[in-house]
């Protein structure tokens, strides 16, 4: 297994936010969601499958995402997840929580500039 | 009752479907990962192996995902237990009549099995059996009496009616409907049920 130096471990609770915001662009399956997060973060964030699938199923149980079996562009049956209406509300909520957290972290780490 | 049973079966069926869905989902992930590697120039065999290695332990991913389903399932189960308790409470005489012979037969059989394990006391010893029965009766009575006494202390005399005619008659006699429920209280079939409160004279 190759170990990237640039790779950063995902913080607890941030995966849900990442998944929800990835699905804003349209329905997607688990593999594509993980790839999207990896490429958009420029290879910094790698989602482990052991966290990805439990997270997807948990979000679905909350009703924030829903799933359908559809054929992928290569003609294989895949489970596509999409954002629900309450998922969008949750995304806005989580995003503002995240903004608060990063702002607070920045204030503590770089006080009085 | 039949409806509940159907729901229960549906939930079991759903569990099995979730299992096979997850297996297919993981299979799809592995094949996508392998395809990506083939596109990057790997041989198909190498690609498949590498995809598996990167995925990690399939069984553990499945187990961790399954954990997510357990909680709603347990809640369903809790609902079933509450429903069963309500049925038992409604048909308490039947429950008692059915429970006594079954209980006695059970006690006898278990007693025979335990006989070897007990020291200096017989499991069918009348005093022991009687005290167990008394204890169980005490628990049952407490469970009935305590809520009743609480209601009495609160100064509320209340009753409920699930009968359409009575529901029309009672309000005209001065009984105040406290809560109307379209959900069943002690009936499996939803009938309009209302809880009544006798107006206090004070």
- As for the ipTM of the complex, it is 0.85
Q: Any idea which of A18-22, A66-70, B105-109, B117-121 has the lowest mean pLDDT?
A: B117-121
Q: Which of A49, A74, A78 sits opposite B61 (nearest CB)?
A: A49
Note whether B40 contacts A: Cβ–Cβ < 8 A. Answer: no
Note whether B49 contacts A: Cβ–Cβ < 8 A. Answer: no
- At A22 the pLDDT is 96
Inter-chain contact A61–B22, Cβ cutoff 8 Å?
no
- At B154 the pLDDT is 47
Burial of B73 (0-12, 13-18, 19+ CB in 10 A): middle
Integer Cα distance of B39 and B103 in angstroms? 69
Please say whether the beta carbons of A82 and A26 come within 8 A: yes
Burial call B153-165: b when 16+ CB within 10 Å, e when fewer: eeeeeeebbbeee
Note whether B69 contacts A: Cβ–Cβ < 8 A. Answer: yes
Q: pLDDT tens across B8-24, in order?
A: 677 778 778 888 999 99
Is residue B157 over pLDDT 50? no
Chain B residue numbers touching A32 (CB-CB < 8 A): 32
- At B183 the pLDDT is 46
SS3 for B161?
Answer: strand
Q: pLDDT tens across B113-126, in order?
A: 777 776 666 666 77
Is residue A16 over pLDDT 80? yes
CA angle B5, B7, B12 (to 5 degrees): 95
Q: What is the token pair recorded at B180? A: 């109307």
Number of A to B CB contacts under 8 A, please give it.
Answer: 59
Note whether A63 contacts B: Cβ–Cβ < 8 A. Answer: no
Q: Which of B53, B54, B61 sits opposite A53 (nearest CB)?
A: B61
Integer Cα distance of B11 and B75 in angstroms? 12
Q: Which of A48, A53, A77 sits opposite B65 (nearest CB)?
A: A53
A 10 A CB-CB count for B10 gives 10
Integer Cα distance of B141 and B143 in angstroms? 5
Per-residue HEC secondary structure of chain A comes to CCCCCCCCCCCCCHHHHHHHHHHHHCCEEHHHHHHHHHHHCCCCCCCCHHHHHHHHHHHHHHCCEEEEEEECCCCCEEEEEEECHHHHHHHHHHHHHHHHHHHHHHHHHCCCC
* Residue to test with chain A: of B15, B19, B32, most A Cβ within 10 A: B32
Q: Which of B22, B57, B68 sits opposite A61 (nearest CB)?
A: B68
Note whether A102 contacts B: Cβ–Cβ < 8 A. Answer: no
Q: What is the token pair recorded at B75? A: 């809640």
- At B202 the pLDDT is 35
Instruction: Kindly list the distances between the CA atom of residue B186 and the CA atoms of A53, B68, B83, B196, in Å, as whole numbers in the listed order.
Output: 42, 33, 9, 15
Please say whether the beta carbons of A55 and A37 come within 8 A: no
Integer Cα distance of A91 and A24 in angstroms? 9
Is residue A109 over pLDDT 80? yes
φ, ψ dihedrals at A53, nearest 5°: -70, -40
Binned at pLDDT 50, 70 and 90, residue B201 comes out as: very low
Q: What is the token pair recorded at B31? A: 């094949």
SS3 for B38?
Answer: helix
- At B180 the pLDDT is 54
- At A66 the pLDDT is 95
Inter-chain contact A61–B69, Cβ cutoff 8 Å?
yes
Note whether A65 contacts B: Cβ–Cβ < 8 A. Answer: no
* Residue to test with chain A: of B47, B68, B74, most A Cβ within 10 A: B68
Chain B residue numbers touching A69 (CB-CB < 8 A): 21
Q: pLDDT tens across B76-107, in order?
A: 666 766 776 676 666 667 767 777 777 778 77
Integer Cα distance of B7 and B76 in angstroms? 10
Q: What is the token pair recorded at A103? A: 């702002």
The average confidence (pLDDT) of chain B is 72
Of residues A97 and B133, more confidently modeled: A97
Average pLDDT of the residues in B175-200: 50
Q: Return the percentage of chain B with pLDDT > 70, whole number.
A: 51
């Amino acid at each position: 297994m190759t170990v990237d130096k640039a790779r950063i471990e995902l913080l607890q609770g941030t995966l849900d936010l990442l998944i929800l915001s990835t699905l804003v662009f349209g329905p997607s399956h688990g593999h594509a969601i993980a790839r999207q997060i990896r490429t958009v973060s420029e290879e910094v964030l790698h989602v482990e499958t052991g966290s990805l699938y439990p997270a997807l199923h948990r979000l679905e149980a909350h009703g924030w995402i829903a799933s359908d079996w559809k054929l992928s562009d290569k003609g294989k049956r895949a489970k596509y997840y999409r954002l629900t209406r309450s998922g969008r509300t949750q995304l806005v909520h989580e995003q503002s929580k995240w903004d608060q957290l990063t702002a607070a972290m920045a204030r503590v780490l770089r006080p009085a500039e | 009752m039949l409806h509940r049973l159907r729901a229960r079966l549906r939930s079991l069926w759903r569990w099995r479907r979730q299992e096979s869905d997850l297996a297919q989902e993981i299979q799809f992930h592995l094949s996508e990962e392998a395809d990506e590697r083939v596109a990057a120039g790997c041989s198909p065999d190498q690609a498949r192996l590498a995809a598996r290695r990167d995925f990690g332990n399939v069984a553990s991913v499945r187990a961790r995902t399954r954990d997510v389903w357990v909680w709603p399932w347990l809640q369903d189960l809790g609902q079933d237990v509450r429903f069963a308790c309500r049925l038992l409470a409604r048909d308490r005489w039947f429950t008692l009549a059915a429970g006594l012979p079954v209980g006695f037969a059970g006690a006898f059989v278990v007693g025979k099995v335990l006989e070897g394990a007990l020291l200096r006391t017989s499991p069918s010893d009348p005093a022991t059996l009687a005290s167990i029965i008394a204890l169980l009766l005490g628990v049952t009575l407490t469970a009935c009496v305590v809520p009743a006494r609480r209601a009495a202390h609160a100064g509320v005399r209340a009753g409920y009616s699930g009968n359409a005619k009575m529901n029309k008659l009672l309000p005209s006699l001065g009984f105040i409907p406290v809560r109307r429920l379209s959900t069943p209280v002690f009936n499996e079939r939803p009938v309009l049920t209302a809880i009544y409160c006798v107006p206090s004279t004070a």
